[in-house]
Structure 1
């Protein structure tokens, strides 16, 4: 079971996605009706494609409609901004001296390109509650990985 926490920005993006999916669904239904009117549906590629697209849209809409009411928006900074909590941007130093930066977000906001990792991930669980200069050991498939916390911030 994934956690129900989400940032304010993440909630906005999910609501926006739901609205866009509903608009796209209207277009797909119109295109599906037009394709169905062309006759034999068994060999109508447009009809088959639109049916599949409609199923995928409906699946995502149902998921979002069920998930959004359960989400809890975390929209304030913690009292101790030096410790790592939800929504923190954390800069870690690896053993070789290189640095990586991650932001701890809800499972609905994961985006590795932006450095967003889930609060449910092993790395995030290992970081929670820690502060700058702490050493964090995280078990990964290759063995144990050691990180040093270089910076903690709560700016987006």
Structure 2
């Protein structure tokens, strides 16, 4: 089975979500279900049915998160990555038409909350791996091959807002 990669921040976010669901949200909804059930006839009790459905959704998400967290491999920044594109990098690219893109390469479980993050499994990320500033690379799109140029690479430290800059960054 292929290892599922995740950044340290992404891993912590999933753990925080699991903790919140299990310790805060689930007990609250469970109390509401118990209260609604104590009212008697459940067949027409909207509070009971709504919260029971919500409880099932929470339990489903908790099971999913527990399974995902077990199967993830956390990838931390290493100074050896400097100057090249690897997992966790913020990358700036430009094409011949002057179109610019700026994004971070992360695990598939991290891309859903951010528009400026792409999965390591995407064609763009795969084409970028090990590239350096000023390297040219091509990505196959529905309209054909598109040529891009790496204009910047940076890695942010987990413990602070400082970053290591590469290329023509200010």
TM-score with structure 1 length normalisation? Answer: 0.90
CA–CA distance in 1 between the matches of 2:53 and 2:141? 38
Counterparts of residues 45-60 of structure 1 (less than 5 Å): 45-60=46-61
Kept in 2: contact 1:78–1:85 (CA 8 A): no
Residue 127 of structure 1 pairs with residue 128 of structure 2:
yes
Residues 96-129 of structure 1: per-residue CA shift (max 9 Å, x gap): 2132101001111114645111111111111111
Residues 1:34 and 1:87: Cα distance change in structure 2 (over 3 Å): same
Question: Taking CA–CA contacts closer than 8 Å with sequence separation of 6 or more, which of the two structures ends up with the larger relative contact order?
Answer: 1
CA–CA distance in 1 between the matches of 2:85 and 2:124? 12
Kept in 1: contact 2:7–2:74 (CA 8 A): yes
Kept in 1: contact 2:3–2:73 (CA 8 A): no
2:132 counterpart SS class: coil
Kept in 1: contact 2:90–2:105 (CA 8 A): yes
The alpha-carbon deviation at position 20 of structure 1 amounts to 0.5
CA–CA distance in 2 between the matches of 1:49 and 1:40? 15
CA–CA distance in 2 between the matches of 1:56 and 1:95? 47
- Unaligned runs of at least 5 residues, structure 1: none
* Equivalent in the alignment of 1:21: 21
* Equivalent in the alignment of 1:12: 12
TM-score with structure 2 length normalisation? Answer: 0.84
* Equivalent in the alignment of 2:89: 88
2:33 counterpart SS class: helix
CA–CA distance in 2 between the matches of 1:134 and 1:41? 65
The alpha-carbon deviation at position 138 of structure 1 amounts to 1.2
Q: Number of matched residues?
A: 156
